Structure 1
Amino acid sequence: MPAIQLKDYCFAHQPILDADGNTVAIELLYRDAQPEAGNAFDDTTATANVILNVCSHLGMIELMGKRKLFINVAEDLLLSDSITLLPKDKVALELLEHIKITDEILARVRELKAIGYEFALDDYVFHFDPCPLFDLVDIVKVDILQADLNALDELVAYLRQWPCKLLAEKVENADIHQACLKAGFDLFQGYYFAYPTLHGGRITDPAKLVVLDLLTRVSSDADLDDIEASFKGNPGLTYNLLRLLSSPAFYTSHKIGSIRQAIQILGMQQLGRWLQVLLYTQQNEQSCLSLLELAVHRARLMELMASSVDAAPEQAYVAGMLSLADCALGMSMETIIQHLNLVEGIHRALLKREGDLGRLLRICEKLENGEFEEVAEIVESLNITISSLMEMQAASIAWGNRMLHDLFEQPH
């Protein structure tokens, strides 16, 4: 089999959250970029080298921390020696429910579990025929789109006969998430946290109102005295600014003697970016932190793609960062935009997904859901190849992971 390069495949990643909204794992989605070109890999031809190549480009193995990377493995890969190339403390191996269960498969799963690998059974659809893998896997993933939401209690009670965690996948909105949470699921996969829950046009967290007001001043090119006064009236915001300058993300050797000096050291562009981050973190809700991670990855990917469509990189970054602000603030995007002095291109992207920035944002959204065919249709009209998009996708994930790690690392 010829060496498989990054240009040969598309990949995406989706967060897996616990009941408290912490992102505890990531699922890696991947498929061949050009199946018609004769280099396709499928369930029977994918190798550990392919997966390792993806992980290496993503920079995720090193940056996962306590999170595990969920990866679909086919029968051939499961039975091969190559599977042990994957770090057992960093990955969870997903088996499709329709895998042909033989004594050889069961023995192999037992063997790999004995040396520390974790297993998940993927795409489970509720029925009363027990699967032999239930006694072996650590996690059962239930396809919620195929489940009867009125019978979730019965489903959970049935699966609780086995000592495995239950993961609800394809959880698409807050109502479905609440139903799964109430039924007793342990883990949740899907972008339910990335859909806005509106609160009548009012920001429910006063601290976020302060941040939005300050972001408005920065985006309107207010003078330094005005911005400094806003910080002086908000001691908590001032503390966070000084703490930021002590973090690995923005560390400076300068001794800070005043709020004005801190603002000048950071600069208006970086100050704006930091305020965009604060929109997602003021209440320190884990769901907001998951939103922040998603927004940062969008922003960086759009920034990297901007030059390909002759768009301003900083405008692309801002559009990506603000694309989930309605979810973080509980306000409509129309209301948020009224507060901010944004250029027309960002307006069109955020409200209608139109224009060059709108198309870049749509690429991000389609990638997040693993909708690779739709991604291909959009990039076909742009000066972006699939291979360069995948390079930028990998770079944005690695950059975002490093930035968030540095930003929230406690200063010494």
Structure 2
Amino acid sequence: MADWSNLPQDLVTCLAKRMTSLEDFLVFGGVCRSWRSSTMNKNNFTGGLRHQVPFVLLPKHYVVSVRKFYSLTKGRVYKLKLPRTRRKLCFSCLGWLVTVSEGFTITLLHPLNHHAPIKLPHPQIIKTDMRYFKNLNVEKVVLSSSPSSTLDYTVMVSYKACSLAFCRPGQSENWTQVLTPLTLIIDLAYYKGQFYGLTTDCKILICDIKNPKQAKATVVAQVVPREQVDILLWNSKAQYLVESAESLFVVFGFRNKPQDPSYDDTTSACWLTAKFRVFEVYNGNSWSTSEVKNLGVRTLFLGDKSRSFFIEENTVCKPNCIYFLNNYFVRRDAADIGIFHMEDGNIEWLFDKSFIDIYFKESKSNSFLRSHLWIQPSF
């Protein structure tokens, strides 16, 4: 048999540069030590990250260290040891996992590379609230930039429904609380150098954190006409704030009661997604509200505990579609995870019942239906 580990390094590097998928590039580096050396230099990856298809991080049993990633590209499941995610609440942003432990200890982990974990400062600002503050009070975690590409980045967290705090690792030894209006904040986004928040009454907050001593969030726009707010909020069960290179978008998700007559639970948390409506609220110059009926060649990925994002034209993901992960408890035989087609409003479920049965049983809890994350391929 051929000894692939003895191939000339120049030839190995040439092969690595032919990988257009980051998934294949990382698998290529796992063949042997000499092949891995060619993937340590990210300049050898010529496929570009903008068009890479995300993984789905599948749920786990609470105490298990091995995590499973579902590949949309290959339609298969990969296993990866991530012991630092045990007994932690997990979020994802820009390819990084953000783990939150009891007492609000936050750590940044890169699941696909061997970066050292980044432990963030302990939030002294909320010490007086610690007896009430558990990890489930954290709603969203957003990074301004990937720690892989820069040391100058900011982490913004929303917690206890209407509170915000941020830290700048390496620049500050503590978190800074952001003064906010008394309103519920349901999503965060980082757009053109600033953090934005979306409130439950369809308002956009902008966070001014240049001076940490005077950090505050103020309302800059009512993104939906007031006469439509009540209608949208009454019917929608999820709202998302999403940035692209040019614009900010607000997305409303609507759910329907399950059609199974034997299922009599009428709580909205047990309903399944029926449709989405997308609104462009900022075009880089002015605030306005216009409904978007067509995403063109773009694909939108929505997640409750993941940063929502667009990817451009890709041969794997379906264009003009919304891939969604709704981490709410639904039924044992269904997961609110699928693909919404903007053109005709049809929904295609991402996982079939047999797949759900396998991973539902392995998770040994109902967490399969609550704890999925999008993981963007990154270095």
Identify whether the pair has TM-score above 0.5, normalized to the shorter chain: no
Compare the two structures and name the one with the higher strand fraction.
2
Work out which structure has the larger RCO, using CA pairs closer than 8 Å and 6 or more positions apart in sequence: 1
* Normalised TM-score (structure 1): 0.28
